[in-house]
């Protein structure tokens, strides 16, 4: 009789443990997604890469690796950096999907774009 009671109690404890485990997995907070980030290098009078595709919510950071100043200015006015000297950075987070062409206002032939999906 004791053995059958022990087996019954063990069975109930196992079932309760499985239920508790399933409940904790079901109700645990979802993992926070880290915002994405990527870098564009400004060097030799060009932006690299020239076309960058990123998901919505991505922060893009431009770093001037050139020996002369540059800017990062979107053609639609969505973002505009100050004049960036060597090794200075400018960041912008893209909250909406779309294509964002940009250029250097000091050297207007320097162009590129960010495509946000």
Say if residue 65 is in the same domain as residue 109.
Answer: yes
Say if residue 8 is in the same domain as residue 41.
Answer: no
Say if residue 52 is in the same domain as residue 84.
Answer: yes
Range of the domain at 25: 1-32
% of the chain residues with pLDDT over 90: 68
Indicate the number of domains in the chain.
2
Say if residue 41 is in the same domain as residue 14.
Answer: no
Say if residue 95 is in the same domain as residue 41.
Answer: yes
Read off the CATH number of the domain in which 54 is found. Answer: 2.60.40.420
What's the CA gap between 81 and 105, in Å, rounded?
Answer: 10
What's the CA gap between 114 and 4, in Å, rounded?
Answer: 69
Say if residue 46 is in the same domain as residue 97.
Answer: yes
Rg of the Cα trace of the chain? 27
CB 103 within 8 A of CB 77: no
Question: pLDDT tens digit string along 57-90?
Answer: 999 999 999 999 999 999 999 999 999 999 999 9
Is the pTM higher than 0.85? The answer reads: no
Is residue 43 scored above 60 in pLDDT?
A: yes
């Amino acid at each position: 009789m004791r053995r059958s009671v022990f087996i019954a109690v063990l069975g109930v404890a196992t079932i309760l443990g499985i239920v508790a485990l399933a409940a904790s997995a079901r109700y645990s907070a979802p993992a926070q997604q880290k915002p994405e980030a990527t870098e564009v290098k400004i060097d030799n009078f060009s932006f690299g890469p020239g076309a960058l595709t990123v998901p919505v919510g991505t922060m893009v950071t431009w770093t001037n690796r050139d020996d002369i100043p540059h800017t990062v200015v979107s053609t639609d006015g969505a973002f505009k950096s100050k004049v960036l000297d060597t090794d200075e950075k400018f960041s912008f987070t893209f909250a909406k999907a779309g294509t964002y062409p940009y250029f250097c206002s000091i050297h207007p032939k320097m162009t590129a774009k960010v495509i946000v999906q």
